[in-house]
Every structure is written in C-alpha cells, then in structure tokens.
A and B are shown apart, each in its own frame.
Chain A
Amino acid sequence: MDLPTHRDDWRLMGRTARLVLGGPFYALVGVVAAAVALTGFVLSQNLALTRAVLVGRVPASVLPELYPFVGTSYSLLTGSVVLLVSLLVGVDIALVAYHVREHRLSAEGSGGSVVGVLLGTLGAGCAACGSAILAGVLSLVGAAGLVTLLPLDGLEFALLALVALVLSVYWLADGMRGGEIRGCPVDLQK
C-alpha cells in the first residue's frame, strides 16, 4: 500500500487539492460536499428533532444550535475534528469528482472516502452523546465493553476518519500523477 511518507507526498496532496479547488466548479462541489457532510454528521445525532422541524412542530432556528461552535453539543477539540473531517470530505469529493470527470480514470481513493465518511459519522456521534453510538455498534459484534478502553471517549473514530480521508486524498492525488489540472502539471517530482 502506497502511503504518504515523504514531504513530497504531502506537497503533492496540497498542490493537487489547490489546483482542483482553484476551479470555481470544483470549489463549489467541495464546499457543498463539506456542508452536506457536516450537516449529515450533526443532524444524524438528532433525527427526531430534525423531523420535528420538518413537520413544523419546532422552529427551524433550533437546527444551527446542533452545529459545532454554534451550540454546545461538541467540545472545542471534538468540534474541531468534526469540522476538519467535514472539510476533508469536501476536498476528497471534489478530487473524486475532478478525477472522474476530467481524467476519466479510476478513483483509487473512493474506497478510502467511504471509510472516512463512515468513521467520521461514527466519531461525531460518539463524541456528541457519550460513546453510546460506539457502544451500540460495538455491541453488534459483542464488544460493548471495549468502549471503556478508549481514552478519548470515541473521538478515536473521528481521528481514524481523518487518517482515512488523508489517505484517500493522497491516493487520488497519486492517481493523478502525470496528468494536468487546468494546464498545470500535477507531478513536480517524478
């Protein structure tokens, strides 16, 4: 498995993301994907409340209170990680969209994207509600007690999501080596 182990790999990721997001269309794709991911993370913790808003029983002004740094559902650390995961989902989806549309190539990183999004939701949920989601999920495999072994109360899953998304971005950037983005060569080193 190819991993981003050198500084050049990180520069490649940064350059690729910058070039792709430099185009207005893919910047919009990234922003929308990040917003959808963040909204998915936070609303999935409170579906009943979301439904109450949709049927008009509760004012829509409650919904912003569910987001990190607006309401109080997330700590500073957890909110930052959830926000970072969402932004990376945006970058990741923009790269996947670019890769698919412009290069007509396979999206090697999309497996990583799916893993990242799943872990991100799991991590956001754990951190928001006291590990209950994690306990519920682990109990499916008979490992509910494992939650007590996690020193970060489930934030580990959000951090794993960060890793998965970084790997996904790297694999996508790596897959675009040798190509061009808006006339600029992606690969500077090899």
Chain B
Amino acid sequence: MADGTTARTTRRSVLTGGVSLLGAGCLGGGGSGDGDGDDDTISLADHPVGRSLGTQPRLGPPPAEATATIVAFEDPSCPRCAAFESTTVPKIRSELVEPGTAAFVVRTAPLVYPWGDPAIHALEATYARDADAFWALFGHYFEEQDAFDTDNVLDRTETFLSAETDVDAAGVVADAESGAYADAVATDVDAAEAAGVSGTPTVFLFRDGQYRTRATGSVSFDLVTRALEL
C-alpha cells in the first residue's frame, strides 16, 4: 500500500481492511468450534451431541425430565475451560442443577495441550469405576492445571485418586496407558466432530428437548440463562 498515489487507491486500501476484518471474523468463527451446521430446529435426541448421552457424566435430572440440558465439551488442559469451571459452572450447579431445572452433561475433547489426551483417557477410566471420582478428578485437573504436563499427568492423577477417592488409582492409570477406554474417548471425539466443535469450552444449550444455540469460550452464567430463558 505504500506506493498508492491516489485517493481512490487508498480508499480501496481502507475497504480492503474492512473486508479483511470480515474475513478474519469468518476465520475466527470457523476455527473456534462455532460450527455452522443445520442444527437450528433439531431435538436433543437427534443432535450429534445427543449421541450416547445416557452414558456420559451428568449432574442433575435426566435430560428427558429437565427443562433445560447443557452439554459442555471441555478439555482438562484448556485454560478457558478452567475459567469456565471456576466462574460459570458453580452457578450452573447451584442455581440450575440442584433445583432440578437443568441437566449438565460433560463431554471431553482433547484439543488444546498434549497432556489433555492422557488426562481424558484417565477420566474415562475413572468414570467407568465411579462417577463421583470422575467429578473430583475433573475438577482437580482444572484447579491444578498449571502443574500438569505430558510427563507427570498420569503420576499426578494416580496420586490424587489414591488420596482423594476410593477408586483403584493404579488400575485407572494402567487403563489410561493401555487405551482401555479408547472407545469411550472416541465416542466424545466423534460427537464433537459431528457437531463441528473445534474449540473448548463449547456449550450446547437445549430447552424442552429442542436445540437453542451453542456458545464457545468461557461464557457467563447470565449468557446461559438468557439463552435458555430460565
């Protein structure tokens, strides 16, 4: 642009900037897991994130009995998921899940840092043994996120499970290392891919069994309740 000599040329440059902004916006949306599927009027049962929902970790009533269902795709290694878990999820639990208004379902997707993958295998192995231990380990990953890396994730997982839960910690780690629950991990990854999720956290919001919208990022509790009109 430095050699532009007329006002017309430079105006074109400005326009180019504007178009670039729009283009970058599209890029951002596509890459953020924002997805653009034809899920406008789909029911939870037919939506990709509803696949195998009954086998997923859930807080609150079954989706069929809840006014709203929140399906969150999260990665233990994702910093914004940690923010989401510390700011938004506690309110979801206390104000929507505990009164029985909403079901909160977690699905995992290893998208951010490499240690998230073995952590997710460990989470599936833990969930297969005990749901409460799963939620404890899930929270532990976010609370101590900075301490984890690919070299220590399973050692720290075993230490935590041994100290804080009743599950067979060594068995969980052995299963995570052998990929014993690879099918369960793949179920979530397949659902994420089918729904166009490529960023975490991404929450899918359903009201009365019907899809409302999705939101990516550590979105606020107010956003969730307003979108669901709760």
Contact A106 B2 (CB under 8 A): yes
In the complex, whether A108 has a CB less than 8 A from a CB of chain B is yes
Contact B14 A97 (CB under 8 A): yes
- The stretch from B53-61, B80-88, B92-100 touching chain A is B80-88
Distance of A97 Cα from B32 Cα, bound (Å): 32
In the complex, whether B131 has a CB less than 8 A from a CB of chain A is no
Interface magnitude class on chain B: 35 or more
Q: Nearest Cβ in chain A — how far from B160, in angstroms? A: 22
In the complex, whether A117 has a CB less than 8 A from a CB of chain B is yes
Distance of A36 Cα from B30 Cα, bound (Å): 19
Contact B111 A132 (CB under 8 A): yes
| With contact pairs A117-B20, A130-B81 given, residues A71 and B1 touching in the complex (Cβ less than 8 Å) | no
Q: Which residues of B contact A75 (CB under 8 A)?
A: 83
Q: Nearest Cβ in chain A — how far from B112, in angstroms? A: 5
Q: Which residues of A contact B111 (CB under 8 A)?
A: 130, 132, 135
Select from chain B the residue with minimum beta-carbon distance to A120: B24
Contact B22 A125 (CB under 8 A): no
Distance of A135 Cα from B215 Cα, bound (Å): 19
Q: Which residues of A contact B4 (CB under 8 A)?
A: 106-107, 110
Please pick, from B17, B81, B229, the residue contacting A113 in the complex, using a CB distance under 8 A: B17
In the complex, whether A137 has a CB less than 8 A from a CB of chain B is yes
Distance of A107 Cα from B29 Cα, bound (Å): 30
In the complex, whether B194 has a CB less than 8 A from a CB of chain A is no
Contact B216 A128 (CB under 8 A): yes
| With contact pairs A100-B10, A135-B111 given, residues A153 and B223 touching in the complex (Cβ less than 8 Å) | no
Contact A58 B227 (CB under 8 A): yes
> Digit string of B4-30 for contact with A (CB within 8 Å is 1, else 0)?
111101110110110011101111111
Q: Which residues of A contact B209 (CB under 8 A)?
A: none
Distance of A65 Cα from B225 Cα, bound (Å): 11
Contact B13 A110 (CB under 8 A): yes
Q: Which residues of B contact A66 (CB under 8 A)?
A: 217, 219, 223
In the complex, whether A188 has a CB less than 8 A from a CB of chain B is no
Distance of A41 Cα from B13 Cα, bound (Å): 20
Q: Nearest Cβ in chain A — how far from B3, in angstroms? A: 7
Give residues of chain A (79-133) contacting chain B, Cβ–Cβ below 8 Å. 93, 96-97, 99-101, 104-111, 113-114, 117-118, 121-122, 124-125, 127-133
Distance of A102 Cα from B126 Cα, bound (Å): 68
In the complex, whether B198 has a CB less than 8 A from a CB of chain A is yes
- The stretch from A5-13, A18-26, A45-53 touching chain B is A45-53
In the complex, whether B166 has a CB less than 8 A from a CB of chain A is no
- The stretch from B34-42, B64-72, B151-159, B183-191 touching chain A is B34-42
Distance of A38 Cα from B166 Cα, bound (Å): 49
Give residues of chain A (27-81) contacting chain B, Cβ–Cβ below 8 Å. 36-37, 40-41, 43-49, 51-52, 55, 57-59, 61-62, 65-66, 71-73, 75
In the complex, whether B46 has a CB less than 8 A from a CB of chain A is no
Q: Nearest Cβ in chain B — how far from A57, in angstroms? A: 6
Q: Which residues of B contact A62 (CB under 8 A)?
A: 215, 223, 226-227
Distance of A101 Cα from B7 Cα, bound (Å): 7
Q: Which residues of A contact B221 (CB under 8 A)?
A: 72
| With contact pairs A110-B1, A129-B200 given, residues A45 and B28 touching in the complex (Cβ less than 8 Å) | yes
Contact B40 A57 (CB under 8 A): yes
In the complex, whether A136 has a CB less than 8 A from a CB of chain B is yes
Could you show 13 A-B contacts with beta carbons less than 8 Å apart? A46-B215, A47-B34, A48-B34, A62-B226, A62-B227, A72-B88, A93-B14, A121-B28, A122-B24, A128-B32, A132-B199, A133-B31, A133-B32
Residues of B within 8 A of A (CB): 1-7, 9-11, 13-14, 16-17, 20-22, 24-36, 40, 75, 78-81, 83-84, 87-88, 111-114, 198-201, 212-223, 226-227, 229
The 9 closest A-B pairs by CB, nearest first: A132-B199, A44-B25, A129-B199, A47-B29, A136-B31, A44-B28, A121-B24, A110-B13, A52-B213
